[in-house]
Structure 1
Amino acid sequence: MQINHKPVVTFLICIVTVCVSFYVAYQISGSVLGKSRITELTNFGGLTVEGIKHLEIWRLVSSQLIHVHQKHMIYNVLSILFLGIIIERTVGSKYMLIIWLFAGSIGTLFSTQFTPPPWNVGTGASQAAFGLAGFGLFLIFSKIQRGYIFLCAIVFALIPALYLDFKSVGYPKAGHSLSFVIGFGLAIYYFYNVKQKLVQVAPES
């Protein structure tokens, strides 16, 4: 466990998300705390299947930085911050970035399949937060990480978001669910493949 590893990537993700989301909100509404229409966010990096077909791969990253509601953005950033600090200290910056990128982008793209056009634009950091929560839950189940602080961080990331999901559609949203599963799966892969290889190499070095 890299307990002295500085969570540089986590802080960078959070800072960039806040700056980009505020900037886009200001460009659209004239206020950093203003609300943006989902259709307007396409021009600012929102993720669409059509965009991926045109090889606009950068949208996989940019879509996670922009939000319709800035209050939602702040909640997502806090979730990523609380979870990311502990997870990055455990697995390092490289794998923290992988979790954020894969769980976030794939979940965001998947979420666009359940909304009719022109509102099928993937945005927001909640998918990444669910991916980190899935990764974190594996750490709890496998007793790699312990403590109420980390458990509270997972609850903070999941419960309010799930409440809103059930309130709006009656079930966990597809993008959130897939991102959670991806995060949990990445944790299994890391600790039963990558970590084992590191342990085997260590005595020889």
Structure 2
Amino acid sequence: MKTTGQRHSFLGKYKVGFKNDGKVLALDLEIYNNAGNSLDLSIAILERAMFHSDNVYEIPNVKINGRVCFTNFPSNTAFRGFGGPQGMLITENWVQRIALELKKSPEEIRARKEVEKFNFHNRWKKRGVAMVPTKFGISFTTKFMNQAGALVQVYTDGTMLVAHRGVEMGQGLHTKVAQVAASSFNIALCSVFISETSTDNVMNLV
């Protein structure tokens, strides 16, 4: 257990420019990624953290520098989120600091009255505010991890069995793949069946 890598720990140092109403005008951010004693996927994880460091906020002026740090800890590796949570956590930290500085609630900084203004002018369509807004990209900067693959077997009775590389974890991926297959072959959705995800039928799973 002592030699097992963990999720990458990050250090963020930032300067933020903002107005009295909480609107953020500029962000200067330095991110340090603790890789441990080997590189592993630390660069790709750092890149995703940098891409998520604005979270869902519109910031007109942004400067972000990232560094991978070689340390005497066990080599860290990829975990769920792949750097995105670390980048967004740093962002929500400075949002909290702005709120403290202005003596406002963090939710007010995040919303900036936009919800109240929209709801006042729209009778039927309303908006709300998430307590912790997040975003997440769908690809990797490490190109080999963006491979796609599927095994499609077509049977004489008109049905189809599809094995794909994606991991179904509640996001409805199997249904989406079945819909794509049905549309591509112009058959009914009920004629498409999804096989279990396994490297014995589709290689190079990520």
Task: Tell me the TM-score range normalised by the shorter chain.
Answer: under 0.3
TM-score (norm 2): 0.26
Q: Whose relative contact order is higher, 1 or 2, with alpha carbons under 8 Å and at least 6 apart?
A: 1
State which structure, 1 or 2, has the greater radius of gyration over its C-alpha atoms. 2
Which has the larger share of helix?
Answer: 1
Which has the larger share of strand?
Answer: 2
TM-score (norm 1): 0.26
